[in-house]
Each structure stands twice: as C-alpha cells, then as structure tokens.
Structure 1
Amino acid sequence: MQQKTRNEGWQLTQPPQDHLRIEWPGGRFETARRRRTGEVEGKIAPDFHLIMVTLSGGAAHHAFRTDDGYRYEGRDAKGMVSFLPAGCSRELRLRDVAWEWGAIAIDPAVASPKLHDAKSFLVGRDDFIHGMTAQMRGLCRREGSLDQTYCSTMTLALSEYLSNKIAERSPRGPSPKYTLTRRQLRDTYERIDARLAEPISISDLSLSLGISEGHFFRAFRGATGQTPLEVISSRRMDRAARLLRETDLPIVEVAALCGIASPSHFARLFRSHKGHSPSLWRK
C-alpha cells in the first residue's frame, strides 16, 4: 500500500494540515485537518469518482458549483457527504472553516456501471458513508497504512451503496430529451464567466457549441434544471459578492463589473440572490 502526501486534483488558496493520502489499485483515501481559517477558495478536479465527508467541525459558509450544474450555498457540518463524478470539477469557497475531512476516490474502471452517468450531489448526513470514512481515517492515523484487501472491499461496497442511493434519488420520469455533455457545460460556464461584465446572449453561447439557440436553450435547461439567464444572473451575483467582500470598489462599479448598468436593478437582483442588500453584505 502506497502512502503519499501530494494533493493531486486539489487546488486551494490555503492547504490543510496533517494531510495524508493512501492509494491502492482501484482507489485512494485522503484525510486532512484544517485549523480555523477565515476564508479558503479553490478547485477540485478529480480523475476518480470522489466522495467527500465532513468528519468533524464544519464551516459557517460553504459555496460551490460543479461542471455538471450542481450548486450549493449554506453551512457545512459534521456528517455532510458530497459526490463529485470523475472528470467533473468543482469551484468552492469556504468562510470561517475548522474541520477534519475524509475523501474516498473510486476508479471508474472498477466502479459500478451505474455510477458512470451519475451527477454531483450533496446530502446533509449519511451515517453509512460517514461511518466508513471515519473508520478508514482512524485506521490510517493509527497504523499509518490501510490493508489493500480491506480497501478494495470497502470501495466495492461503497460503489454499490452509492449506485442504489442515486437510483433512489433519480426521478421516475424519462430523462431530458435535450442535454449538454460535461465538456459542453464546462465550456459554456467558462464563456459566461469570461463575459460577466458584458451583455451575454443565447446566440453567444450556442454559436461556440455549433448548435441553434433553441436547441442550446432546451439542452442547457435539461442539463442543469435552470435557464441560461438564471445561471448568468446567479454567477454575476456570485462575482458581485466576492468583489464586495474583497475590494473597496463603489457599489456602482461592482454592478458595472458584473454587467449591470442600473444600481437599483443591481440592488434588487443581489438581494433576491443573497438575501441582503449589497451594502449590508459588505459589512
């Protein structure tokens, strides 16, 4: 069993402490602690299916979005579990965080076939996954390694458990007739983010993918559950929130940098997304 301390696939502005990573054929396990930190931003881009668990502690505010359209914004607490499929990246932001986490990565080659098309998700608590991850953390910390047979068995069990959970969560109706691939979604999000200060039209986004506006609109909504306008507005407000926190720019300039010319419209839109006025958010 190979032990490493590198953190491939994780790009964080402030790395955690006591990070440990152990690999075996078909999977790997990682665990780390983080002392109280005011703010952390970063990106996770796994090559394996990744199951992440908050083992203890948490964060006052955790916001993230994934390439396949999943978004979360709220508190993070002990027991929370999230799933990120292989090849799908997640951009994250944490405030007032102090925790210990564990992550189990499953090679798609050995995972249940049902996981191949699975999308990102988060659950408030899952005792089975939390218990498995905590047990692996304890063995890893105490013995400095993990038995390969044990890890392979746990990985297969977790793969089947996740497959069943995802099947339970899936809607019983038919899949969307129109959708976008993960690469198309990632390219679209990158194009949106690069042009948040400018007007963005459906044609701007559809032409880059070589599809019609109508097809793009239906496919985007089928893939994300949101319209392009809803996503553009949300990402503009995410940028505005960061600028208000991190800079002293006047609110009218923040609005302009987010593609909104009217300060009153910006204030209404910001409040509808964040629950506070721009000036109150900055305090």
Structure 2
Amino acid sequence: MQQKTRIEGWQFTQPPQDHLRIEWPGGRFETARRGQTGEVEGKIAPDFHLVMVTLNGGAAHHAFRTDDGFRYEGRDVKGMVSFLPAGCNRELVLRYVAWEWGAIAIDPVVGSPKLRNAKSFLVDRDDFIYGTTAQMCGLYHREGNLDVTYCSTMALALSEYLSNRVAGRGQRGTSVKNALTRRQLRDTYERIDARLAEPMSISDLSLPLGISEGHFFRTFRGATGQTPLEVISRRRMDRAARLLRETDLPIIEVASLCGIESPSHFARLFRAHKGHSPSRWRNK
C-alpha cells in the first residue's frame, strides 16, 4: 500500500511538484504541476469552496466521486473546471497524468450565500474560470507573490459568477438596495485614499460599513460600475502620476507610496492606466 503525502486539505500517493500556496482573508490560491506519472490516488477534503482548473496537460484517465453523489470517469484535458463545495470530500484516481493545475478556495462565510447549497460539478471548459485561474497563476509565477486586494477581488468576482451559475440567470439591472448609498460611497473613497500606500483588502473597506465582503463587493459595483480593485488601482495610478509630475522622488519610491512594492508590476499597471511608462510620463 502506498503512503499518502498530505498537503493541508489534499492527500496524494505521490505529491505534485512546485506546489505554491498563498492565502488572504477569505480565500487562498494554490498551483502545482506533475510530471509524467503512471498512477496517483488521493483525497481532497476542503474547508473552503474549491474551484480546480487544469491549466495545461491532463490525464488519460480521471475517476472521482464526491460525498454529494457526483461521479466522473473519463479523460482530463486542458481547460476542464470542477467545483467542490466546502466540507464535501472527493476521492480520486489519476492514470498517466502530466499536468499543471490551479485552485481558488473561497471562504463559505465570505462567498455568496447562494453557494451554501451548491453541489459538485465538472465542465469541459469555462473561459471565465479558466482565464481567472490562469491569470492568477501567471502573475504568481512572474511576481513571486499576489496582491491581497487583487486576490480578494478576484475571489469575490468568482463567487458571484458561481452563484449565478448555480442559481441560473441572475437578476438584471441594479436596484437601490444593490448599491451603496452616497454616504457609504463617499466614506469608502475617503478610506481608499487614506490607505493607498498600504495593502488593502475588501474587508478593510466592508467592515467599517458593517456589511459582509460579498455584499460590499456587489453594492460597490452596483454604485460605481467598477470593482473595488479597479477603483483602487485607478486612484493609485492617479496619485503616482501626480507624484511623478510634481516631485523628483525616485520611481521606486513613488511606487511604494502608491502601495506597490514590485517595480515591474508598477510599470505595467501605470502603462495600462496612463499609456506611458513612469519614466516617459515624467519626462513628458
């Protein structure tokens, strides 16, 4: 009998390689790869809702069963997406597998209430879920880290997407109850501007208003048409543009004052918002 290797929430007879994991309040992201392997048995016991994506490669045979009665037996290929609700275990067998996978875990307390009754599922392809997971994986490998605000925003967006998938077509339009009040929005903008130089999570903005992260995300987007991450990024880049124009501070210090420690990430973000690199903006 093969000895199983345990990675919090995951048990495999043969561990994957390059297993990376990052956590933030309300979620976590994991990714790993596996070279050509004849057979792997395992069990997944998630404490959070878990979305798993085959980013590259696959398996000639993948069979699993879950506690809520879902069963699958067949191939696993790039793009396949599966969902496992919190507290629902999955037992699996993989044969002739070589792949790279990514997984996003969503705290059931923070995620949409609609997910509480969600069941396990698997689809051949979902461009939104695949694209979200692949983007997080690419950034993680490139930067060696992920921004807390970015992670929490992506996880909440994924939670909303999944809840609409589970519940069917979501309601159209935005009613008054689905948007922050003017006072709440003004207070939130002031709070964002006061903390642009610091890491910022959704909970930092939702707690002072006395509402959940998921409700804040929905009502903020209902009021502004943008996600919290989009607004935070825009206001950070507006501050950066002013500092570059009005001061002689080194660019790396400007980035730090705008809450971004990675110079390369700052340069990409600034160019995306302003159309020029930080140095070219300053020279112009």
* 1:98 aligned residue: 98
* 1:153 aligned residue: 153
* 1:134 aligned residue: 134
Give 1:151 deviation, angstroms: 0.5
* 2:89 aligned residue: 89
For each residue in 1:54-99, what CA deviation from the matched residue of structure 2 results, as whole angstroms up to 9, or x when unmatched?
0000000000000000000000000000000000000000000000
For each residue in 1:149-185, what CA deviation from the matched residue of structure 2 results, as whole angstroms up to 9, or x when unmatched?
000110110000001111239xxxxxxxxxxxxxxxx
Report the TM-score, using the length of structure 1 for normalisation: 0.57
Give 1:7 deviation, angstroms: 2.4
Distance 2:58 2:29 in 1: 20
Give secondary structure in 1 for the equivalent of 2:68: coil
For each residue in 1:6-64, what CA deviation from the matched residue of structure 2 results, as whole angstroms up to 9, or x when unmatched?
82010000000000000000000000000000000000000000000000000000000
* 2:117 aligned residue: 117
Question: Following superposition, which runs of at least 4 residues in structure 1 exceed 6 angstroms of deviation?
Answer: none
* 2:15 aligned residue: 15
Distance 1:65 1:168 in 2: 24
Amino acid at match of 1:71: R
* 2:68 aligned residue: 68
Distance 1:14 1:7 in 2: 11
Matched pairs, number = 164
Distance 1:123 1:97 in 2: 19
Report the TM-score, using the length of structure 2 for normalisation: 0.57
Distance 1:118 1:150 in 2: 25
* 1:225 aligned residue: none
Give secondary structure in 2 for the equivalent of 1:78: coil
* 2:143 aligned residue: 143
Q: Which runs of 5+ in 1 are unaligned?
A: 1-5, 170-283
* 2:240 aligned residue: none
Is structure 2 residue 44 aligned with structure 1 residue 44? yes
Distance 2:8 2:149 in 1: 24
Identity %: 84
Give 1:136 deviation, angstroms: 0.3
Amino acid at match of 1:28: R
Distance 1:77 1:168 in 2: 26
For each residue in 1:98-145, what CA deviation from the matched residue of structure 2 results, as whole angstroms up to 9, or x when unmatched?
000000000001000000010100001001000000000011111111
Is structure 2 residue 32 aligned with structure 1 residue 32? yes
Distance 1:51 1:7 in 2: 17
Equivalences for residues 163-242 of structure 1 within 5 A: 163-168=163-168
